[in-house]
Structure 1
Amino acid sequence: MWRELLPVGRDADGGGYHRFAWTPPELECRAWFADQARRRGMPLEHDRNGNMIAWWLPAGWTWRDGRPHRDQGAGPAGGDAGPEDAVLTGSHLDSVPGGGAFDGPLGIVSAFAAVDLLRERGAVLRRPIGIAAFAEEEGARFGVACLGSRLLAGAIDPARARGLTDGEGRTFAEVLHGAGLDPDAIGPDEDLLGRVGCYVELHVEQGRALAEPVGVASSIVPHGRWRFGFAGEGNHAGTTALADRRDPMIPFAGMVLAARAAAERNGTVATVGKVRVVPGGVNAIASSVTAWLDARGPADDAVRRTVDEVGAAARDAARPHRVTVEFAEESYTEIVDFNLALRDRLVGTLGGAPVLPTGAGHDAGVLSARVPTAMLFVRNPTGVSHAPAEHAETADCLAGVDALAAVLDDLARG
């Protein structure tokens, strides 16, 4: 499975991945996912928000009307499990620009491998197991991370989501329509959420804290994204005197430096990793600059204070250059403490696996507001993520499969 996915969307020169939501590489990954489900006889559910779920159904369950159903009078294999007891796992298939191979796909490949392992062992389930591929987790195309799970959980207004645009000006609604989905139907899916008892996501470690192959997540630190717009006046680079310029690049540069300083003061991290300059000519003074700030930290007040200080610094830097500044929050997630009982159950199942927090956002964090969620991390010896050097050793990945299989077996049996 890993070899099949490895070349999809990979840059031949830099080695990074470009699998943006509903672009040809990501669509190829979606087709791969559907084929994996078909090979295993797992019915495939497409929800209204672009997420996919492949289902392994226990004895006494059938697939009809596009969803799993427990048959009346099901035998002992069905036990007393109800329709709300499904165990969900999985991750995402999209990437950041130039991303690594493991972020997202490792969780999905490991989920299919764990199902294979349980089937080989003759596991008898009492609850369905679903493998989910969530849409637009990275937010690389439409700017809002975990968009598919946010819509599912009701964590974003559907009207706002429909109006999100990509770099080419195409709206999320247009792209969904082109993919055969109804943009007017997106939003909270209480039927699907009501069928899920818990969600466990396996992910490559994003950092280098694990000394053992597999760990369990304790929490996700607060994190968010803000868009800054600097509006000046376009002009000729050679004929416009310095005193006559309204150059938005100058306060933008000040904002980048202010982000680093504010992060140091508040014990957070702040990153400006994306910028759009208009018109973008070498011999032209920019008319506008749009930049995106990513800020994260151990506490909500520290992150908010960092962003406020960056905003104030941007306005101060813009004033002498007669540039206007606007900034707005695109997404924000407060600290997420994963379900304690579920976390402890995973730790016990795995014989005392180490527990650690993460500074990265995940679908599991978004869904935690609606269902119990937990995460497994597979050791990353490089500590690099969102870049081609992201890595996990094969032995550790296989240990991750064993761990996920043990967790799914425990949760789906009892």
Structure 2
Amino acid sequence: MTPSLETAGDTVAGLLAEIADLGRDPVRGGYSRPVHGPAETELREWFVSHAERRRLEVHTDRNGIVWAWAPAHDGSRDRAVVTGSHLDSVPGGGAYDGPLGVASALVAFDQLAARGVGANRARAIAVFPEEEGSRFGVACLGSRLLTGAIAPDRALALKDADGLTFAEVARDAGLAPEGFGPDPDLLGSLDTFLELHVEQGRGLVDLGQPVAVASSILGHGRWRVSLTGEGNHAGTTLMGDRRDPMVAAARLVVRLRDLARAVPDARATVGRLIPVPGGTNVIASHVDLWVDVRHPDDGVTAGLVREVREAAGLLAAEEGCAATMTEESLSSTVDFDAGLRDELLSVLPNAPVLGTGAGHDAGVLGSQVRTGMLFVRNPTGVSHSPEEAVEDGDAEAGAAALADSLELLLRA
């Protein structure tokens, strides 16, 4: 017999205020919370303390995902209804991308306890690691490992900017890398996963609504382009004698923009570029840049990537350089479960249905578990930036909508 859950009476705004100083980035602004870094580790501890305060059963699984369980009255975890999100961030990210979903899950569980929703079915909160991919380059790494969407050997060999492998960092964090990989038994126990997230756009602002139900996630991927030339002295090398990969990189960034503009609904971005050796008075010998491409049609995404690959080779050759392009991650367009969407709309009748161009763990899990998402209004419409925002009233409305949705699913 499991103990009855306790309610802490927290608000979403109050919970987020508790972590407002963790991982602040004095250079970029906003927050930098890479997976298994000091800030993200402290955030995990913060979550665990709140989960245990609510008498949830907490454990970290083989892939580093933190689970806080309220088993059914008979102790089982079958047909579980799960919510949650992540706590890591992009460099210089906002305060809500990830933590809003975790804080809202805690408050929603409080509301379920206060309503006397019973334990006929198990429920849980999950916190996924490396959702952003900001440290090891592959987004949603925890959920990809759980579902088998990435091979453990490949994941463990990924390196961060300091040259540390994911295996080394995970082991230092107390995990056992040799156990990473698909967990069909855990996945088989899950009935539904519902993720709440700050909206990363202006859909709800323009519609004047605080909460939306998600319809889909655009297909998207990341590719690393490596351009190799000849390092040399900036003052002694004549312009006509140069093999400068930085020039090839600059030209490719502009060509990428033009290629994406020519394709309706396409998005293509270079957000990171690293020259080697990186001296002010040195012609670079090597440049790595990362290309992010997205489109609702996976075939169109593939075609655009082919054009980028061809452009990289041609532009590099024109500058006397060489180019290679390597896929680091790729996710197909995800259409969330239509039946679940209709169930959510039955208790959230005023919520619009919106798609998103941002990737999420719910999208990865959707290949094996019934999944859905709720979005909470972002008045700035800006995300992955310090300007990301959520008003307190909307945050509480989101938690209430999540509680209503979980109650519906638990009583089904």
- Normalising by the smaller structure, the TM-score range is over 0.9
Deviation at 1:84, TM superposition (A): 3.1
Q: How does 1:7-406 map to 2 (within 5 A)?
A: 7-12=21-26, 14-61=28-75, 70=76, 83-210=77-204, 211=207, 212-267=209-264, 268-406=266-404
Q: Secondary structure at the match of 1:266?
A: coil
TM-score scaled by structure 2? 0.94
Q: Percent identity?
A: 53
Deviation at 1:243, TM superposition (A): 2.2
Deviation at 1:142, TM superposition (A): 0.1
Give the match for residue 2 of structure 1.
Answer: 16
Equivalent pair of 1:254/1:313 in contact (CA under 8 Å): no
Structure 1 unaligned blocks of 5 or more: 62-69, 71-82
What is the rounded CA distance, in whole Å, between the counterparts of 2:168 and 2:150 in structure 1? 18
| Of 43-52 and 10-19, the range deviating more from structure 2 | 10-19
Paired amino acid for 1:50: G
CA RMSD of aligned residues (A): 1.1
Give the match for residue 80 of structure 1.
Answer: none
Q: Secondary structure at the match of 2:85?
A: strand
Deviation at 1:25, TM superposition (A): 0.6
Deviation at 1:343, TM superposition (A): 1.0
Give the match for residue 4 of structure 2.
Answer: none
Deviation at 1:13, TM superposition (A): 5.6
Which digits, 9 at most, give the CA deviation of each residue in 1:125-152, with x for residues without a partner?
Answer: 3111110100100000000000000000
Give the match for residue 75 of structure 1.
Answer: none
Which digits, 9 at most, give the CA deviation of each residue in 1:346-365, with x for residues without a partner?
Answer: 11121242101000000000
Paired amino acid for 1:198: T
Equivalent pair of 1:125/1:413 in contact (CA under 8 Å): no
TM-score scaled by structure 1? 0.93
Which digits, 9 at most, give the CA deviation of each residue in 1:321-346, with x for residues without a partner?
Answer: 22110001111111100011111111
Paired amino acid for 2:97: D
Paired amino acid for 2:37: T
Which digits, 9 at most, give the CA deviation of each residue in 1:182-208, with x for residues without a partner?
Answer: 111101011211111110000000100
What is the rounded CA distance, in whole Å, between the counterparts of 2:71 and 2:143 in structure 1? 23
Relative distance call for 1:150 and 1:318 in structure 2 (3 A) is: same
Paired amino acid for 2:140: C
Equivalent pair of 2:78/2:121 in contact (CA under 8 Å): no
What is the rounded CA distance, in whole Å, between the counterparts of 1:369 and 1:45 in structure 2? 24
Paired amino acid for 1:84: D
What is the rounded CA distance, in whole Å, between the counterparts of 2:55 and 2:368 in structure 1? 29
What is the rounded CA distance, in whole Å, between the counterparts of 2:58 and 2:252 in structure 1? 46
What is the rounded CA distance, in whole Å, between the counterparts of 1:183 and 1:59 in structure 2? 33
| Of 213-222 and 238-247, the range deviating more from structure 2 | 238-247
The number of equivalent residue pairs is 394
What is the rounded CA distance, in whole Å, between the counterparts of 1:2 and 1:315 in structure 2? 47
Equivalent pair of 1:266/1:305 in contact (CA under 8 Å): no
What is the rounded CA distance, in whole Å, between the counterparts of 1:289 and 1:23 in structure 2? 27
Which digits, 9 at most, give the CA deviation of each residue in 1:60-98, with x for residues without a partner?
Answer: 22xxxxxxxx3xxxxxxxxxxxx4300010000000000
Which digits, 9 at most, give the CA deviation of each residue in 1:3-41, with x for residues without a partner?
Answer: 111111012465310000000010010110111111111
Equivalent pair of 1:150/1:366 in contact (CA under 8 Å): yes
Equivalent pair of 1:228/1:325 in contact (CA under 8 Å): yes
Paired amino acid for 2:292: D
